[in-house]
Amino acid sequence: MLTFHYIPFQRIVQMGTYDRIDFLMSLIRDNRILLIEGRLKPEEEGLLIQESMRHIDATGKHFSGIEITVLHESYRQTYSKIQQCKKKIAAWLLENKKESMIPHGITIIGPALIIKEMKQSPEILEMHLQKIFLKKTVQQQKGKS
């Protein structure tokens, strides 16, 4: 079964970097695709990738890494000057609260065992799933019938 797990910004913003990474890894290792409101800082993305590499199974049957992409708005093109100014002030205020995530955008992370690749353009996200995962899911559905 394919499971998407939505995580609101407020759920993980108060966590420390390592607690956040442990939390995300525990969900990913349960073969869930995470839809996270907000964005991790680049160094946190790096730590998450490092942590996923530590958990890779030699056979690739249990855990084979992660796929990650970030969807974010290009507000410079779509918003007026006043709206851009408001967003910059809000971002500045949030940074002063010592929050380590960036609130705008959506981060999508999933196990490489399920997601073969993700491609994005400004208006489209393509998520290509692994054939072995699709076959296993179809077999499970036939078994339930």
Alpha helices in 30-130, H assignment, sequence order = 42-54, 75-78, 81-96
**What was the pLDDT predicted at 22?**
94
Helices 17-29 and 42-54: angle between axes, nearest 10 degrees: 50
Is residue 81 one of the residues assigned to a domain?
A: no
Domain assignment present for residue 93? The answer is no
Confidence class of residue 17 from pLDDT cuts 50, 70 and 90?
very high
Taking the C-alpha atoms of residue 69 and residue 125, their distance in angstroms, rounded to an integer, is 9
The answer as to whether 22 is a domain residue is yes
Handedness of CA 81, 86, 89, 92 (dihedral sign): negative
pTM of full prediction above 0.85: no
Domain-embedded: residue 85:
no
Give exposure, 117-134, as e/b (b: 16+ Cβ within 10 Å): ebeeeeeeeebeebeebe
User: Could you tell me the residue range of the domain that residue 25 belongs to?
Assistant: 3-74+101-144
In a domain, 82, yes or no: no
Residue 107 CA to residue 100 CA, distance in Å, equals 14
Name the nearest CA neighbour of 109 among 60, 54, 57, 44. 44
73-130 tens-digit pLDDT: 654 455 566 766 776 776 666 655 444 556 678 899 999 888 999 988 777 888 888 8
Q: Is 15 helix (H, G, I), strand (E, B) or coil?
A: coil
Report the domain count for the chain.
1
